[in-house]
Amino acid sequence: MRGTGRSIATFSLSSNFISHSFFSSSNKSFSPHKLTFQPRVLLGYRPLCCSITTQTIEAEEQISNPTKQSILLERLRLRHLKNVSKTPETKTPLQNSASNLVNNGEFGEKNKKGSSFKLGSSFSELGLNEEVMGSLEEMGISVPTEIQCIGIPTVLEGKSVVLGSHTGSGKTLAYMLPIAQLLRRDENISGILMRPRRPRAVVLCPTRELSEQVFRVAKAISHHARFRSTMVSGGGRLRPQEDSLNIPIDMVVGTPGRILQHIDDGNLVFGDIKYLVLDEADTMFDHGFGPDIRRFLGPLKNRASKPNDPGFQTVLVAATMTKMSCQRLAVDW
């Protein structure tokens, strides 16, 4: 186009020059500097090269865009498949499935006829005595939940278990009721009495709020089952907690860090601990309490390895744990 434009402009200039030379009425010498030219509009000439170039580019984009889109889609699909393959095992709430219980490392599952555990219609069918059931009557509870029908008999048998069920299903009573009865049974059979700083049952909780909830349940049961409990958790003053540990006690409820602090200060000893509960065990392990729990369990395991030692019973309670996590915890603890 540029070459064509220059040719047309040269021809036009030459035409004007010839026209001015031959048809001018003046005899004066011609001065090309005095010439003035009117701008001309040459109709019929279009920028063919630009048009062809634009159309060619647009055509190439139309041809290449589908290819680029297909390449991008393929990359996104491969990336998605790669991420899915690397996705870790997620935790899902155990929706109304109290049969998700690990008993000595074996995961309880339902059989074809229904639950693999026989559910009771009343607490008396679960093996609870009248003292413990009196506290249930005071709290206005008469019918056990599914997790309570599974947990209470299992804990009463002296087995270490993992109880998994959704929030609000009554997991606290599922372990607190049988432990209260076992404490009374040990007193009657072995003549064990309460002693200062030497609890026989310890409940570990991840937060102070949960410790307070569990402690309230323990206090409600202790009015009838006749055992003494106290709470030591982070955020509270040490002096009142020390005073509560220096009197005869049966059960301590608290957070792992504060209980370990009292152990280091000599306010709490391991010697008589027979029942250990890890409430919301999944939360504790997720929030970095694993080292504290292992530190707490170390002396208990060493003591249990000695001859003639009765050992200790462990209850892990959780709301969002996978089958693999439950089995791993059951093997570790």
The CATH number of residue 323's host domain is: 3.40.50.300
From 38, 56, 86, give the residue that closes a domain. Answer: 86
Do the beta carbons of residue 179 and residue 275 sit within 8 Å? yes
**pLDDT of 309 strictly over 60:** yes
In a domain, 212, yes or no: yes
**The last residue of a domain, from among 52, 86, 120:** 86
- 285 and 165 fall within a common domain: yes
What is the value of pTM for the model shown?
0.66
Is there a single domain that holds both residue 287 and residue 314?
yes
Give which of 148, 152, 104 is closest to 128, Cα–Cα. Answer: 152
Contacts of 82 (CB under 8 A, 6+ apart): none
Q: What percent of the chain has pLDDT over 90?
A: 48
Contact 315, 160 (CB under 8 A): yes
Half-sphere exposure of 95 (CA within 13 A, CB side): 1
Are residue 290 and residue 225 in the same domain, yes or no?
Answer: yes
pLDDT tens digits along 237-250: 999 999 999 999 99
Domain count, the chain: 2
Chain mean pLDDT for the chain: 76
81 and 226 fall within a common domain? no
Residue 190: band (very low, low, confident or very high) from pLDDT cuts 50, 70, 90? confident
- Token pair belonging to 7: 């040719």
pLDDT at 36 over 60: no
230 part of a folded domain:
yes
50 and 112, same structural domain?
Answer: no
| Torsion angle (degrees, nearest 10) of CA 34, 39, 45, 50 | 90
The H or E element spanning position 229 is strand 229-232
pLDDT tens track for 158-173: 999 999 888 889 999 9
32 and 133, same domain (yes or no): no
Claim to verify: residue 309 and residue 203 sit in the same structural domain: yes
Q: Are residues 250 and 196 in the same domain?
A: yes
Last residue of a domain, one of 44, 62, 86: 86
Containing structural domain, residue 41:
2-86
Please write the tens of the pLDDT for every residue from 113-149: 444 556 667 898 999 999 999 999 999 999 999 999 9
Map tokens 């047309």 to a residue.
8
Q: Given pLDDT bands bounded at 50, 70 and 90, which one contains residue 65?
A: low
